[in-house]
């Protein structure tokens, strides 16, 4: 009951409703642009949240995440180019429907499935966050340290590619977090005499550099995406009979999206493809898949919108973001002086329930904005890519300058962009780096507090039961992933030798 009161107070006492609508609109436009993922759309807005109250800021960013998931399906359906990774499965049947002159119907299916999935995800988020946050009382400094280590280990082991590279990215993130004045002893670390580095490197600079600038550098070398000729496409919402037909596909999307969302690192892309496959397996009309099946749109769109809600469960309950987008939301919470994790719900229930209320509005706002935004979204997708890249470049620089009015910060963002480009080139995942950076202070402060309490004895991390459990889980994740990598490499080697023979 208190939660509802908090949510109501947030929606009526702050501009959260306006933020939800604005965020959905921005997210849809950003998601509609190929190459602009939900996380990039969120990162571009992050500097502008500094001046907002915490509730409005997190609602704005959460709404961007919600809107971008639908926005990604617009170019997927109209130009066979998914605007976001998680919309890739929608291409299969969405574009086929568009070729049959049913593009408006496909967009309507995507929108309604997204709204249903989003509401289901929100409900699960509310139900799951509260009980998980009750374990807060069990957490000591040693346990918090172990939680941070577990977070980086899980993300590193679930990232695509080598676990070693994932862990290296996480450690580099922790290293960047050590720059600046040590808050516990007051001595300067790695500042090289630069006053600008005394306060450390703000993670927002690295996030925007790694996500947005890396994409700008990469996109500059890629050909322009196709343009839509469907300027007069209008959304056609599905009938009640159609929704009844989609029950199973929607249910599968919601179920798989729930599971994938709460698993850090899995994300909407895997959920949407798994849902697509399962919907085809269980469909009464499997032969229609790939040729314009409504289930082929409903299942993946419901799944990736459920993930947008359930991915917030580990972020809010444990302070471990499972995706790039939730890492940015986590960053936004920390920018406003909030500490995500087990204590967030008890210390700042207004923000958490305000976010829930805002996400409810955002999901419902999709219905209105989704219909209104079609023409501007198609117009935007049809703009020449060179103009869009140039405008985003200016937006990044201007947004960053807004934060501290510092030219030095612009240099840091450019450096982070170069780092992100090199990481992408050499196959290092971004998320462990960002997570290391965001959790760096929490990990180090609790590591040192725990050692002070134990008089320097590292056995405290194994004597504390929660810490021992979490470190054990971290070890299982790392060893399990290393074993899987070893086994896969052996299989690939054997397959290569066989094909050579």
Q: Which of residues 27-56 bind another protein (CB under 8 A)?
A: 48
Binder to another protein among 135, 407, 475, 479 (CB under 8 A)?
407
Interface pick for another protein out of 85, 140, 178, 277 (rule CB under 8 A): 178
245: exposed, middle or buried (Cβ count in 10 Å: 0-12, 13-18, 19+): middle
In the complex, what is the shortest distance from the CB of residue 394 to another protein, in angstroms, rounded to a whole number?
5
CA 171, 175, 176, 180: dihedral to nearest 10 degrees? 160
Out of 13, 199, 290, 427, point to the residue binding another protein (CB under 8 A): 427
Orientation of helix 465-500 relative to helix 141-158, angle to 10°? 10
CA distances from 455 to 139, 399, 442 (A): 19, 45, 20
Comparison of 93 and 444: residue with beta carbon closer to another protein: 444
Shortest CA distance to 350 belongs to which of 335, 327, 333? 333
Query: Using CB under 8 A, which residues numbered 468 to 497 contact another protein?
Result: 485, 488-490, 492-493, 496-497
CA Rg value for the chain: 23
**The binder of another protein chosen from 123, 217, 291, 339 (CB under 8 A):** 217
Q: How far is the CB of 244 from another protein (least distance, A)?
A: 39
Give least dist CB 426 to another protein, A: 5
Size of the site for another protein (CB under 8 A): 71
- Please state whether beta strands 180-181 and 188-189 pair in parallel, antiparallel, or not at all (unpaired): antiparallel
Least distance in angstroms from the C-beta of 211 to another protein: 15
Comparing CB distances to another protein, the nearer of 281 and 492 is 492
Does residue 386 interact with another protein by CB under 8 A?
Answer: yes
Instruction: Out of 151, 417, 464, 471, name the contact with another protein by CB under 8 A.
Output: 417
State in angstroms the smallest separation of the CB of 397 from another protein.
Answer: 6
Q: Which one among 6, 98, 102, 165 touches another protein, defined by CB under 8 A?
A: 165
Pair of tokens at residue 299 = 């299942």
Whole-number Å distance between alpha carbons of 458 and 451: 7
Q: Cα–Cα distance between 3 and 8 in angstroms, integer?
A: 9
Q: What whole-number distance in Å separates Cα of residue 253 and Cα of residue 307?
A: 10
Q: d(Cα 323, Cα 307) in Å, to the nearest integer?
A: 10
What values do phi and psi take at 85, rounded to 5? Answer: -60, -40
Smallest distance, Å, CB 466 to another protein? Answer: 21
| Of 86, 91, 150, 92, the residue nearest 121 (C-alpha) | 86
- Smaller CB distance to another protein: residue 472 or 493? 493
Fill in the per-residue mask, 345 to 384: x = in contact with another protein (CB under 8 A), - = not in contact.
---------------------------------------x
Q: Which residues, listed in sequence order, are joined to residue 232 by a DSSP beta bridge?
A: none
Residue for token pair 């617009």: 74
Q: Which of 237, 389, 466, 473 binds another protein (CB under 8 A)?
A: 389
The correct pick among 162, 282, 367, 371 for binding another protein (CB under 8 A) is: 162
Out of 390, 462, 476, 479, the only residue in the binding site for another protein (CB under 8 A) is 390
User: Using CA atoms, how far apart are residues 357 and 362, in angstroms rounded to an integer?
Assistant: 9
Q: Taking CB under 8 A as the rule, which mask of x and - marks residues 252-271 in contact with another protein? A: --------------------
Distances in Å between the Cα of 336 and the Cα atoms of 55, 331, 487 are 9, 9, 44
Q: Would you list the DSSP string of 153-205?
A: HHHHHHSSS-HHHHHHHHHHHHHHHT-EE-TTT--EES-TT-GGGTT---HHH
Q: Is 337 exposed, middle or buried (0-12, 13-18, 19+ CB in 10 A)?
A: exposed
Q: Is 5 in the site for another protein (CB under 8 A)?
A: no
**Residue 499 interacts with another protein (CB under 8 A): yes or no:** no
Q: Which of residues 448-467 bind another protein (CB under 8 A)?
A: 448, 451-452, 455-456
Among 4, 184, 368, 476, binds another protein (CB under 8 A): 184
Give the single-character DSSP code of 135.
G
The one among 8, 18, 425, 483 contacting another protein by CB under 8 A: 425
Near another protein by CB under 8 A, which window of 67-75, 236-244, 282-290, 445-453? 445-453
Residue with tokens 């471990």: 320
| Contact pick of 290, 376, 411, 465 for another protein (by CB under 8 A) | 411
């Amino acid at each position: 009951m208190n939660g509802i009161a908090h949510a109501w107070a947030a929606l009526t006492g702050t501009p959260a409703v306006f933020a939800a609508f604005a965020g959905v609109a921005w997210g849809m436009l950003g998601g509609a642009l190929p190459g602009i993922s939900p996380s990039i759309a969120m990162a571009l807005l992050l500097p502008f949240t500094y001046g907002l109250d915490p509730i409005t800021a997190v609602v704005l960013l959460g709404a961007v995440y919600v809107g971008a998931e639908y926005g990604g399906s617009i170019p997927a359906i109209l130009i066979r180019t998914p605007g976001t990774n998680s919309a890739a499965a929608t291409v299969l049947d969405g574009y086929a429907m568009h070729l049959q002159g049913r593009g408006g119907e496909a967009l309507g299916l995507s929108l309604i499935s997204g709204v249903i999935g989003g509401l289901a995800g929100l409900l699960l988020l509310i139900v799951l966050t509260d009980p998980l946050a009750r374990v807060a009382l069990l957490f000591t400094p040693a346990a918090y340290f172990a939680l941070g280590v577990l977070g980086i280990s899980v993300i590193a082991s679930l990232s695509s590619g080598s676990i070693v590279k994932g862990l290296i990215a996480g450690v580099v993130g922790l290293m960047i977090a050590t720059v600046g004045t040590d808050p516990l002893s007051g001595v300067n670390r790695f500042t090289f005499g630069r006053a600008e580095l005394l306060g450390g490197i703000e993670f927002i600079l690295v996030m925007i550099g790694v996500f947005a600038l890396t994409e700008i550098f990469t996109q500059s070398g890629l050909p322009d995406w196709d343009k839509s000729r469907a300027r007069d496409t209008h959304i056609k919402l599905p009938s009640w009979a159609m929704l009844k037909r989609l029950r199973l596909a929607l249910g599968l999307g919601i179920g798989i999206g729930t599971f994938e969302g709460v698993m850090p690192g899995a994300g909407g892309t895997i959920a949407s493809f798994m849902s697509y496959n399962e919907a085809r397996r269980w469909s009464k009309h499997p032969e229609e898949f790939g040729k314009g099946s409504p289930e082929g749109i409903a299942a993946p769109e419901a799944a990736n919108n459920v993930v947008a809600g359930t991915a917030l469960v580990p972020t809010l309950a444990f302070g471990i973001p499972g995706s790039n987008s939730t890492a940015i939301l986590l960053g936004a919470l920390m920018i406003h002086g909030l500490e995500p994790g087990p204590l967030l719900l008890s210390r700042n229930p207004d923000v958490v329930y305000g976010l829930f209320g805002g996400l409810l509005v955002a999901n419902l706002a999709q219905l209105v904005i989704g219909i209104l935004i079609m023409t501007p979204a198609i117009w935007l997708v049809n703009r020449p890519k060179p103009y869009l890249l140039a405008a985003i470049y200016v937006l990044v620089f201007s947004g960053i300058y807004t934060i501290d009015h510092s030219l030095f910060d612009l240099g840091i963002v450019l450096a982070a962009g170069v780092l992100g480009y090199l990481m992408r080139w050499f196959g290092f995942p971004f998320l462990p780096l960002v997570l290391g950076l965001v959790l760096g202070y929490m990990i180090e402060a609790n590591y040192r507090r725990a050692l002070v309490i134990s008089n320097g004895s590292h056995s405290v991390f194994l004597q504390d039961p929660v810490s021992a459990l979490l470190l054990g889980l971290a070890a299982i994740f790392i060893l399990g992933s290393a074993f899987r990598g070893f086994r896969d490499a052996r299989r690939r080697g054997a397959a290569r030798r066989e094909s050579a023979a």
